[in-house]
């Protein structure tokens, strides 16, 4: 039974990684690419790490896998947020089909009246 859970979780993780990388290749914009790939690849790798617990139990290896999950979760999301904020400051345009940019408006408002 443990081996079945191990294989199922590993397969789910690899599947999420495939979807994330397809999104990284095919979407039209920096923001779309990062939004698709970061979420999917982070969840897939977390699933791969979680599968270690079912294979090895609560030994040294399984606990190391469990420990790596929150580390990966918070590290990759914070890095993605900083990266996309830097990209917006750098001046990358949105794609052709996007119609609204709320963050740009917010930044302009902050420039006009900074104490509001």
Partner 1 sequence: MRTILNEYLIDMDTINQFLSIALYVQIALCFFCLYRIIKGPTIPDRMVGIDIFGILVVGICVIIAVLTNRMYLIDIGIAWIILSFIGTLTLAKYLGGRRLNE
Cβ-proximal residues to 64 (8 Å cutoff; 6+ apart), any chain: 52
Site for partner 1 in 84-103 (CB under 8 A): 84-87, 89-90, 92
Residue 67 CA from chain centroid, whole number = 18
Asked if residue 41 binds partner 1 (CB under 8 A), the reply is: yes
Counting contacts by CB under 8 A, is residue 17 touching partner 1? yes
Q: CB 74: neighbour CB atoms within 10 A?
A: 11
**Residue 53 engages partner 1 in binding (rule: CB under 8 A):** no
* CA nearest to 35, candidates 74, 2, 81: 81
Q: Which two tokens stand for residue 23?
A: 């999104």
Smallest separation, CB 111 to partner 1 (Å):
15
If phi over 0 gives left and psi between -120 and 50 gives alpha, with beta otherwise, what is residue 79? Answer: alpha
Binding to partner 1, residues 61-80 (CB under 8 A): 61, 64-65, 67-68, 71-72, 75-76, 78-80
Binding site for partner 1 (CB under 8 A): 1-4, 6-7, 10-11, 13-14, 17-18, 20-22, 24-25, 30, 33-34, 37-38, 41-42, 44-45, 48-49, 52, 55, 60-61, 64-65, 67-68, 71-72, 75-76, 78-80, 82-87, 89-90, 92
């Amino acid at each position: 039974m443990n081996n079945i859970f191990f294989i199922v979780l590993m397969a789910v993780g690899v599947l999420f990684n495939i979807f994330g990388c397809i999104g990284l290749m095919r979407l039209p914009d920096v923001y779309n690419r990062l939004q698709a790939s970061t979420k999917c690849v982070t969840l897939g790798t977390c699933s791969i790490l979680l599968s270690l617990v079912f294979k090895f139990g609560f030994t040294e290896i399984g606990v190391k896998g469990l420990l790596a999950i929150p580390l990966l979760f918070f590290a990759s999301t914070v890095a993605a947020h900083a990266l996309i904020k830097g990209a917006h400051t750098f001046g990358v345009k949105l794609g052709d089909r996007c119609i609204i940019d709320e963050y740009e408006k917010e930044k302009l408002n902050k420039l006009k009246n900074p104490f509001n």
